[in-house]
């Protein structure tokens, strides 16, 4: 897929999967590390070349770990991370570019940083992701209104295969609310990883957390779970 030009203040659906459809998250530690990287690499400053361990894996907050004169420098974000969802063998991001080449720079740091961590931790070498990241420019309102719901509903694939048509909308919604590796809980007022995402834009569009939850509930009940054909990961 040919990438669209990346323009400031435009919104893009970014996604990728593991090479040869392999899993890219093997443990909670891997999920936490990727989410931490979403936070730390979203900065104009170069990423610290450190192989460090995260001491508090159950923390709701993600904090900077840059070293410089004993002080943390404030971040200057290069993208707005509007939404994210991590699945066992792929990920989805909804990004708004803030600086020139912001998305390309962010995704390069993210891909390289996480691959280096994963390969060292799991004693492997070589590429982790299936080529360069994929990107779709969000050009029309229906697509934009649909996409956050699509991204946040991805984890339903985990339980839908087991329950099939017996999966109730109530159970589906409850599962999404408890799925940690997604920005959905933060959008409905359940503190998860609030430092990672910039939610003001979508909340102004979709309404307060209760309204956003109702939108997801209605979407599930109406069985709008078919993927968008031009962004599905094959």
Tokens 């070589």 belong to which residue?
Answer: 126
Residue 51: what pLDDT? Answer: 43
Residue 66: what pLDDT? Answer: 44
d(CA 208, CA 132): 35
The tens place of each residue's pLDDT in the chain, 234 residues long, gives 677 899 999 999 999 999 999 999 999 999 999 999 999 999 998 876 544 444 444 444 555 444 334 456 788 999 999 999 999 999 999 999 999 999 999 999 999 999 999 999 999 999 999 999 999 999 888 888 889 999 999 999 888 766 666 678 888 899 999 999 999 999 999 999 999 999 999 888 887 888 888 889 888 887 544 443 334 444
The reported pTM is 0.86
Is the distance from CB of 89 to CB of 24 less than 8 angstroms?
A: yes
d(CA 111, CA 93): 13
Residue 114: what pLDDT? Answer: 96
Identify the helix (H) or strand (E) that includes residue 11.
strand 11-17
List, in order of start, the domains of the chain with CATH numbers. Answer: 11-137 (3.30.70.1290), 141-221 (no CATH)
d(CA 56, CA 187): 23
Residue 166: what pLDDT? Answer: 65
d(CA 182, CA 35): 9
Residue 208: what pLDDT? Answer: 82
Identify the helix (H) or strand (E) that includes residue 159.
helix 156-163
Count of Cβ atoms closer than 10 Å to residue 97 Cβ: 21
Residue 159: what pLDDT? Answer: 83
d(CA 30, CA 121): 9
């Amino acid at each position: 897929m040919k990438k669209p030009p990346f323009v400031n203040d435009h919104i893009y659906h970014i996604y990728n999967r593991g090479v040869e459809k392999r899993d890219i998250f093997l443990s909670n530690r891997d999920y936490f590390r990727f989410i931490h990287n979403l936070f730390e690499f979203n900065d104009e400053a170069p990423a610290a070349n450190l192989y460090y361990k995260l001491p508090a894996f159950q923390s709701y907050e993600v904090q900077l770990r840059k070293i410089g004169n004993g002080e943390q420098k404030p971040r200057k974000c290069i993208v707005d991370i509007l939404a994210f969802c991590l699945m066992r063998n792929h990920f989805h991001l909804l990004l708004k570019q803030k600086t020139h080449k912001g998305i390309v720079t962010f995704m390069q740091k993210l891909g390289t940083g996480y691959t280096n961590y994963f390969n060292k931790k799991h004693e492997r070498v070589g590429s982790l992701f299936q080529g360069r990241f994929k990107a779709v420019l969000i050009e029309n309102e229906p697509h934009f209104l649909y996409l956050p719901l699509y991204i946040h509903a991805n984890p339903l694939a985990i339980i839908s295969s087991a329950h099939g048509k017996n999966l109730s909308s109530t159970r589906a919604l409850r599962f999404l609310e408890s799925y940690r590796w997604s920005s959905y809980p933060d959008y409905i007022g359940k503190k998860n990883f609030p430092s990672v995402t910039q939610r003001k834009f979508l909340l102004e569009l979709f309404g307060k957390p209760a309204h956003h939850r109702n939108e997801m509930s209605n979407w599930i009940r109406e069985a709008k779970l078919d993927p968008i054909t031009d962004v599905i990961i094959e």
